[in-house]
Structure 1
């Protein structure tokens, strides 16, 4: 904005926000926005629409692919706005996998990694608490009407509003969901690296957050059904901690449902952290190093050419 905005905090207390503390506050708020909109979209699809009479029954949801698109685009918008909120202060990682990958390959200071992770986790927990505060009536009504296995009165369907779990066709196996999370997060970081790389065809005019949102939508559409495409340790573990405290019990921690999955909680943490590093390394190996060499040559060829053309060739 062109007008001068006076600070809310006294100048004597404001200076400390100019460094790491301010960046952590931005990461907290950005991740809070991410979860508020992302989990909010799932709450709408799973509990609020059925409970408000907008579907065929009080427990009817996911009748077709269109229902899944509501959630994938909900998470896409959540990422867009979360990045716009925090981007100018912290770079808007809002994802521990991004923070780790940038520390490994983008010279992000290692001393900031754990503080960023803590801020992201707390922001995710707070975002989940907001969603529950707004939708707890719909969630409780949905769980009461839902048949099937329940843990402390809650169902795995209502748990899916907040955190992730593997599809039944994995039969409780570990490797399928783990590979799914590695692949999904590798694609996320590979594409983020491409979007923000000014040496490449980087997005201009501050449209980067929008394109990253498109990336998340693409991953959800293409790889979302296997295990809920957490692709973000804070996005899964923060709400998981909240649901454990709110009464979902073993469904949240350790992440177990008899006959379906057991001790699942660590997979959406380890998988994305590994996948994020794999993704940024893959981008640098196949594209980033090429751009570096061309920049060192001083006159890089046009895209698609292997050398600079001569006037005769023109």
Structure 2
């Protein structure tokens, strides 16, 4: 392996880190606001649109460098199709996970007072005062079986990958290159609005 390849892989990893950091900061921040203020302050659709804008922002940051996968499922899928090398894919995933953790940490720091007001300073995963669903995907209620959540994750990720592969197809001329980021905004908004209740995006 050439030194130039390693430099490129590291640059791509950093791009994925910063892009995923921005996506999670914007997306989880909108979830936190919705959680703490309730529907009068923000609607469910506004949260999904914010995630869409977060994806657009991330695409503008990392798109020219790494393609802005933003999701281990995307990188691993492309690796299985031999569009990414194994080492390259591994660095993508590491950058995405670290970026997601840092984005979530900053959301917690920014809203730490609201967290304490909401749960009384006693951190809870679920329940009436649970706040873990701000940072990770959770089912709508505790009665939802695990198999249902699994199907939800598989279906949502499947639709995401179908759309990505369709947009990336060289023979697809229905969407121009400048319009593709906006297409992703609509996709993420649609997936969050239509399939986000049971669990949501597995990248979180």
Structure-2 residue corresponding to 1:45: 34
Structure-2 residue corresponding to 1:11: none
Say whether 1:141 aligns with 2:102: no
Once the two structures are superposed, the pairs formed by residues 1-80 of structure 1 within 5 Å of their partners are 18-47=7-36, 50=37, 61-62=38-39, 67-80=43-56
Higher-Rg member (1/2): 1
**Equivalent pair of 2:167/2:175 in contact (CA under 8 Å):** yes
Give aligned pairs, total. Answer: 198
Give 1:140 deviation, angstroms: 1.3
**Equivalent pair of 1:184/1:223 in contact (CA under 8 Å):** yes
Equivalent of residue 154 in structure 2, options 163, 182, 198: 182
Greater helix proportion: 2
Q: Deviations over 1:41-92 (max 9, x none)?
A: 1111112xx3xxxxxxxxxx247xx721121111111111111110111111
Q: Can you give the 5+ residue segments of structure 1 that lack an aligned partner in the other structure?
A: 1-14, 51-60, 145-149, 237-314
Structure-2 residue corresponding to 1:83: 59
4+ residue stretches of structure 1 with deviation over 3 A?
A: 15-18, 152-155
Give 1:119 deviation, angstroms: 0.8
Give 1:201 deviation, angstroms: 2.8
**Equivalent pair of 1:196/1:202 in contact (CA under 8 Å):** no
Equivalent of residue 201 in structure 2, options 216, 225, 230: 230
1:201–1:106 CA distance, 2 compared to 1 (3 A): farther
Q: Can you give the 5+ residue segments of structure 2 that lack an aligned partner in the other structure?
A: none
Distance in 2, Cα, partners of 1:115 & 1:16: 12
TM-score (norm 2): 0.88
- Please report the RMSD computed on the Cα atoms of aligned residues, expressed in angstroms: 2.2
